[in-house]
Amino acid sequence: MSTSGVVERLEARISAQSAAEQSWSGARAAMRQVEGRGYSVRLATLANALGIIHFDEDQDVLDLQEIVSELGAASAASLQERVLRPIDTREGRPLTTALVRNLGHRAWGRASRTPGSLTHESLELREVCSEAAHRLLVIDDGGDGPVPVLQTEQDVIKLFHEDHVVHWRRLIAAALDQPWSGRNEVHLTLVDPDRRPGEFEGVRQLIAKCRQIVEEDERRAVADHIRSTIATTGLKQREFAALVGTSPSRLSTYVAGSVTPSAAMLLRINRMAGRHRAAQAPERLADS
């Protein structure tokens, strides 16, 4: 990623005393200037975020794609939050709200349905924008308060077009807390997909993304459990694989989290590890 190119493209578009210039100057002043790759990446991430917020041009989306490719969607969103927070202090976080709203517009709004537009022509870029928006929404900003109540289609429309990221994050937090309860699908049924295709697709994608994130967390938790269980036995992975009746390569996929074992296999892993520890206990006592 050419970090200097991202910065130069923003600076070429801002004029003195403009909102973009004020955001750029304020954020740079708040950012601790430590020379090196870390600082240049933070600066480029800030420039790209402000580009999307204030100008929302196609090149900004392409630059975001490079940033996400290099950092990963979750890390990129975390960095966006960190560089924007010092200057995004007004009620409702208007800068972060604009960033999420513009990304959503590209991902599932009118731009995604307009022939000839960048994201209409590229499923990959729509996914980049959708993932970036959602990752910003799942960030815990430490705020608390009531979750917005959605009972009618008009409530959903107002939420999309008049509300802000603070309330959006509360809704997403509630969705992450109970991703399969059916409550989120109720919100989807409120929206007519023919009359409000953008809002309908936005709700649908956000529900799917919440479930995806929870599933990823669950897979990581299972992999962590398997790694720690194997470690308690003192066996090498090849030895433990033989103990539970699977191949070393298969066990390595469980340990890495790329494959989640069946409930029966997970039970076997726990049982066999426990039996091995119990069998080794008398030997350890004798040695001591």
Q: Taking Cα atoms as reference points, which of 233, 271, 236, 234 lies closest to residue 251?
A: 236
pLDDT for res 7: 94
Which numeric CATH code is attached to 219-287?
1.10.260
Residue 129, pLDDT above cutoff 70: yes
Residue 283 predicted with pLDDT over 70: no
Higher pLDDT, 160 or 1: 160
pLDDT per residue as tens digits for the range 219-277: 999 999 999 999 999 999 999 999 999 999 999 999 999 999 999 999 999 999 999 99
pTM for this prediction:
0.85
**pLDDT for the residue 104:** 96
pLDDT for 181 equals 84
Looking at the predicted structure, is the pLDDT value of residue 288 above 80? no
Mean pLDDT for 73-100 is 96
pLDDT of 26 reads 92
Domain definitions of the chain by residue range: 219-287
Return the higher-pLDDT residue of 223 and 29: 223
